[in-house]
Chain A
Amino acid sequence: METLPDRPSAGLFAQLPADQQEPFAASRPYFSASQLNTFANCPRQYFFRYLCGAVEDDGTYFTRYGTLVHRALERFHEEYRRPHEGDPVTMEQRLLTLIDDVFRANAKEFTWAVQAELGRIKARKVARHYVRWLVARARREPFETVAIEGRQLLDLEGFSFVGYIDRLDRSLQSGEITIIDYKTGNVAESAYAYREKVRAGADFQLPFYYWARRAQGDRVASLALVQLKDPRLPVEPLEVRIVAEAPAHADVRSKLGVVTESELERSRSAMIDLCERITKTGITRYDVGDDPPCDYCVYAGACRERPAPGAAEFAR
């Protein structure tokens, strides 16, 4: 059996001058909310993913499923911009057909055919709930979809941001805009929890959408995160209204909540600060986050500082 030497050699690099650690400013022609969210969760992951970009990230089953559901909904709303005028049965049938089409056309993107097929079936079940919710919402307050997968460009004090909003609805009664974001993964448990994330600078999505639409002259009233994950449950969006002042007492469990304009303003400042740190002040070392999402990070193997994987919480 080979053994380790008791007195190892100094090594090839021992006499070489060090590569000095010093701050460097990265050239970033654009930012996005998801990039900054990544930075907030784990700066090291941001460094690897966006500044190094050395590895192709094929994503997971969940990201593929989400992409296809988004694609089907995009086509669906192109056809039904005023859902209150549509026939619910026809609408449902149309969405089911679109889901069949996109999943079958892209089945090869999944690791296994069974994932594509069961994903399709799951998406069909979710779609039924979705149309029911959509019709009810449209009848309660008719709206028109004014943008679908709309590319949003925003300049924040010289920093270019880009992003895509799943859907923008304008109320036919008040003219107010609601930003709709489809979520096929987990979302915050309540509107209050989501607001806390915004306040803590851990989620820049809503602030980005808000400021992007404000820059376009829209009166943004609310953001609805529409969860399309569980085929058993009716669709019940997590919805935050944008208000000047928050009520004194918040229901911490409700799906309906608020976020204040001043909180969005602070978030905007935080976005600018981050951009400045990355591109102007410079960062010497991009550290690992406090609770980094290593499980799905393709750079986990490259990350020398990642914490040891945690113990399993469920017995298998």
Chain B
Amino acid sequence: MSQILFLELYPIHPCLNFLKLKIMTEQIIYLDNNATTRVAPEVFEAMRPYLTDLYGNPSSAHTLGQRMREVIERAREQVAGLLGATETGEIFFTSCGSESDNWALRGALEGHPEKRHLVTTRVEHEAVRNLCERLERNGYEITWLDVDEEGGLDLEALRAALRPDTAVVSVMLANNETGVLFPIDEIGRIVHENSEAVFHVDAVQAAGKIPIDVSRTAVDLLAISGHKLHAPAGVGALYIRRGTELAPFIIGGKQEGGLRAGTSAVPYIVALGAACELAQNFDGHERVRSLRDKLEDGILNNFERTRLNGTSDRKRRLPNTANISFEYIEGESIMAHLDEQGIYVSTGSACNSGAHVSSPTLRAMNVPYTAAQGSIRFSLGRYNTEEEIDRTLEALPGIINSLALMSPY
């Protein structure tokens, strides 16, 4: 069970400018690892000296600067190691996954102004989806590939979409909401055999959860994010295969080969490196998978009117994710009740999104409206225990039954 410290400040009397500090500890069960992950103690320890005693601008000529340059190169090796990059020079640090995605698409387009066509899918993360919508408004042509009801892609449709003026093909490796995996090996082959397009993979949700090997995959660009694999938010990376034409993203100093200016965020880069090494050495994937399976089976077998969103073929899904709909029940209510019991999940309900739109991913998969409203995403991580899964399975019947009794359907 994870321990979390809640600091609560409240005035004793409204007239008094007097505050009492209330410290309490709460047991929490964190099942929202696709949203963000807890910073691993190993990662924190690795970055800590660079937030305190060790400093210096890596661009400085003095030995402090030189030392920081070495530290960054070490982190680059660690990231390259996780992704299977043959050269560390193919790894570029960014501030986040969204930046990596933006750089990939915009950078590839800039190099070929005559190419005005992109191919992507209807289930991409906002970083790619909203960028493509913006490009569409600005005159680019986008082919939005549909998915089937299990969240899978029609590769023939992809092949048919490729044209001589296709600049970029951008697909995610793992869907953040359902965990459904796209076959990037096959997609990469199809893209390169049938077009001159650059192939970008958004691997933000996959990195650290399943093996990635860019040396054996026809990927040109690949984005990852630190906070999805137990580094803090504020750092990401873009893999750029040697020889891929990509325009710089931030113009300024000579950092990151002159392609991405801005003083290197040494502590964060160190953290990302440490997190990648930690992920590469993680031997608990099967344990996480079996906990997910236990949770998923426990819900699907014991509740009526539930459905799994995403393929039931677990080999084609992330081992940590289960997206389940409780039909005719509002997802935000389920989430809020779980929250009351210290269990943290997320929902694809329109009610819960500020803009009142149900998840585009679930809509693209043709999930019925009443089911999308009741969708709950459970995403596990390395720190979850069997006791936590048992407690979640024990908490759900009371919540679901009371909400079902209240339902007018």
Mutual binders A and B: no
Residues of A within 8 A of B (CB): none
Report B's interface with A, CB cutoff 8 A: none
